[in-house]
Structure 1
Amino acid sequence: MTTTTPHSPAIAAEGLRKAYGDKVVLDGVDLTVPTGTVFSLLGPNGAGKTTAVKILSTLVTADAGTLRVGGHDLAADPQSVRAAIGVTGQFSAVDGLITGEENMLLMADLHHLSRSEGRRVTAELLERFDLVEAAKKPASTYSGGMKRRLDIAMTLVGSPRIIFLDEPTTGLDPRSRHTMWQIIRELVADGVTVFLTTQYLDEADELADRIAVLNNGKIVAEGTAEELKRLVPGGHVRLRFSDPDAYQSAATALREVTRDDEALALQIPSGGSQRELRSILDWLDATGVEADELTVHTPDLDDVFFALTGGTDIPQQTKENVR
């Protein structure tokens, strides 16, 4: 039985460290994951995301750190942690030589469910994940999306309240990815906590309540998607004109604009707030200048990711404010 409450974190890590020889993979990582939320860990290849998942799911031992998962101390009570969690790794755990149903029943046996209970849970999950028609077929015949759905269904056999999803949609087509997103939303709606690592930044933007960016073994920023996007400068409003005279008038009158004489377009620095947009529109009305097109451009998580992991300068004070 877990000891978490709706107000206590599902996962809490303080000073998490892990090294392999001289290679420091995780260097004093602090994480707090609220219960019933999606927490996404982003980072380039080799940043330590999978190592963090392996440690928090008891597969690898940390070198240092205070870690609690599901209300249990990871070092003192790993068995209780295992009882509270489910793990879907980068590579499918599905056995292709047996049927989907047999994979599910095998998991039920591993969780020590009775024969009748195992069959009941298997039937419910196969229906929930739209796998009933394929249940009697060898899993090797399943598409990538079907195998991933089966993989998560197998993870849910033990009714975990915390699920680690390590790059769950890698290699899936767009339709299968969106199906997986809907499954994750439904899990969280049921009160499950999801710890998600992903290479797809739009996936984190779409699903995560909070996002942490891991680089060189350290958390370099953490916050909501919107908070992280505000770390990166470059938001602007773009005005495009078809009338060269109107373009020239606007370019002369407006301050701090970037001109594109070929496209007859002006770029005005802006965070995209309602007040800033209203100010620009009021100015256009007052001067009688008419733009043919107004578009708002704000930084996305791609911009944040490259800025935080690729050396683009972000003010240190801003980083600390988000964290």
Structure 2
Amino acid sequence: MSVTHAPQAASLAAEYSDAAESEKRRDRRGAGFYRGRSTIGKVILWIVIAAFGLLFLYPFAWLLAASFKPRGDVFDNRLIPRTITLSNYVEVWNQLPLLSWLLNSIVIALLAAGLVAVSSSVVAFGFAYFKFPGRGFLFGLVLATMMLPGAVTMVPQYLIWKYLGLLGTWVPLFGMNLFGSAFYIFLQRQFFLGLPRELFEAARIDGASYWGLFRRIAMPLSIPSFIIVFIFEFQASWNNLQAALIYLNAGSVHQFTVPLGISYAMTLFSPTNGGHGDYQYVMVAALLVTLPMLIIFAFGQRYFVEGVATQGRKG
């Protein structure tokens, strides 16, 4: 039986791949929206794009300039420092446990993003492939959880982690991701619904298990959406100050994540707290901690754009 239907599954997979490639070619040919514009229209369009680009780049440019300034010039709003102080990038490692904060945040973000991407994909595949009574109601119930404000579940979650004896550890910062996320489940389900069901039926005839359908067919074909979920959650975990403030604030400074560490540095150097206003080190630290996110996006940009475009085509 498996020998008979193996060519059928391969043929269906090839047809789906060819259809996806032809759709990409049609999208490229449909770029006439830009080509059909007049020269003046193109100039205006590029001016608008450049203006918005500069608007969003200004905070980063200000941060970059401030990181090279001495203590007294940090807040002078000059984009070109009067005095360039390279020693800030050397001294920051002595003033702050920045390396520990970076490693902590990278490990936590990787765990959080990986766990939620896998768990949400499994749940989304169940909603997309299996047909059972009450599926629509149950899926609507999952989506309804997105309407709950974070403050509603904050205290119950804290009590759960306290009961488990995990306060002051990293586990609360990624443990809840074991159960997926409603938004990511919705995103992945929409992607899975766009896959040809014939691929799964042919694989079932060949004797593939349900887990095999997910692992060998659904996941390889949904890599762009999987990477979108991973990038979104990595960024959310990387910037999560609230959870770190609740669960790690009473622990050692070396256990802090990047957002909590930057907040601690602002307090440490504040003159009202006995500091000397050495905010140039905070600027250097803030600049350096943006590099992992830039690297993640640079490597995942192709999949990110492809996944968003695919979701848009499938509605």
TM-score (normalizing by structure 2): 0.23
1 or 2, which has the higher strand percentage? 1
1 or 2, which has the higher helix percentage? 2
